Structure 1
Amino acid sequence: MTAALASGVQGRHARIIADLMERDRLLTRYGLLLLALFPIALLLQPIDPRLLAGGVDPWVKPAKFLLSLGLFALTTAWLTGYIAPDARSTPMLRANRLLIVGAATFELIYICLQAALGQESHFNRGTPVHAALYALMGIGATLLVAAMLPIALQLLRRPAAGLRPIFVFAVAAGLVLTFVLGGGLGLYMGAQTSHAVGIEGQGLPLFGWNRLGGDLRVAHFLGIHAQQAIPLLGLLVRDLDGRTGWTLLIGGIALYVAITLASFAQALSVLPALAM
């Protein structure tokens, strides 16, 4: 029974990967590579005795970014599959894929290099070189979310056959909001001296969000994950009758934007997202 269950799970995983490869081979391979490297960053944490400012292990950030960018690449590959097959290989989208891989790779190399040196990668402007590399990393992060716009545009122009208009709109809206919210809030955060607002300490488990004061990462997190949240909402409402489905979708998008902006305002007010 256990062997049959394991075989069934492996079969489902294989089908998902095969589907992803058909949708976007480059981004799927890249995302899987980053997820394969993620455990290495986890294993380095108990081995490396050094700590950064605030008592944070230097390999925490590489682990977070390998996981986050791996999921980002795989989600982008999946959503690209909603574009008509013959419209996925336009010069614009081919260049877009290379942009995503290049920007993410630069960011990861710098983050991992700084971890190996026992130095901060983010908000590190201590020398002209660090300031320049941090600025370049910010540009790369902006390009990553900006890469969602050509995908949204091509999806609206040439959706795959059989997709309901409400779902196409939801996917495109999620991609646009990833740029607007994730990119905009990320740019604001990157221009500060820290992600924390006010007193910093006692980070939330797993996420590390500040529980003593405000934390700009919460709103940025919500903005970036509009890439998954809004298409999922579209999936939930796509089979409802026209007016009901569209009302729930637009209302859900408005609520998501409101929650994201409210968490940003909360951080600026020096209030923790989750109190002790």
Structure 2
Amino acid sequence: MTTVGVVTGAGRGMGLACARELVGQVDTVLMVDRDPETVTAAAAELSAGGGVVAEPFVLDVTDDDGLARLAKRVAELGTLRSIAHAAGVSPTMADWRRIFTVDLVATARLAETLRPLAVEGTAMVVFASMSPMVYPKTPDVAALAVLDDPLHEEFLDHIRAAVGPDIEDTGMAYTLAKLGVHRFVWQEAVRLGPAGARICSVSPGVIDTPQGEQEAEAHPIMARLVEQTPLRRKGHAEEVATVVAFALSDRAGFLNGIDLLVDGGCYAALRTQTGR
């Protein structure tokens, strides 16, 4: 049976790096991206290298009908083996509603849509962020309860009511959305377990990508985080993708329901400084 991998945000950056890492792990990679030109070129490049069939799949991950089409295509191709969900937006790219919709709600919807295709050995890694770990304020119980129900039809209204007007700050919205991803992974691991399938999240620190550069220009704290990182540099997309590939592999078969922090030791340094 043909094994299938799905990579979202696969046209560039960390998504493309993840797709490259799946060569040799699966027979076919569905490269999902909303930009048709970029993802088509990326798929052609990956296929030309041999070792895998890379098929472009144009999709906005917030499109429920499109997600249904994706699940149908996976089933047509073979057995779902790996999912690397790298698609997302950062604070400078959208307003607070779009950030929650793309980074949290679409993550939960993608997992829900592909869950019926999960079999023993299926593994999923969804992208979160270091941001919730370094954010100084812990959400209250009411906000956490809302974050734990991202597929509620009134989710955006509920999170606005629980947090208040501060939620419209895109930095806060991003942090809470990624915290929601961390928490979603706990729940999804329990749901997938009976099928013999797994899920983890990966939380990159400051990574040298065009999206990361855009954030650094708008938020000086990014440079300070790099300075505080023990390795004294930004990470590379390939370094994150290598971790994702391991988590998706059979070698990580007992790795489940946790977050993998890939930040060069930044969080460790911050904890040491604060004595936490």
- TM-score tier by shorter-chain length is 0.3 to 0.5
Greater share of helix residues, 1 or 2?
Answer: 1
Higher Cα Rg: structure 1 or 2?
A: 1
Larger RCO, structures 1/2 (Cα 8 Å, 6+ apart): 2
Greater share of strand residues, 1 or 2?
Answer: 2
TM-score, normalised via structure 2 length: 0.33
TM-score, normalised via structure 1 length: 0.33
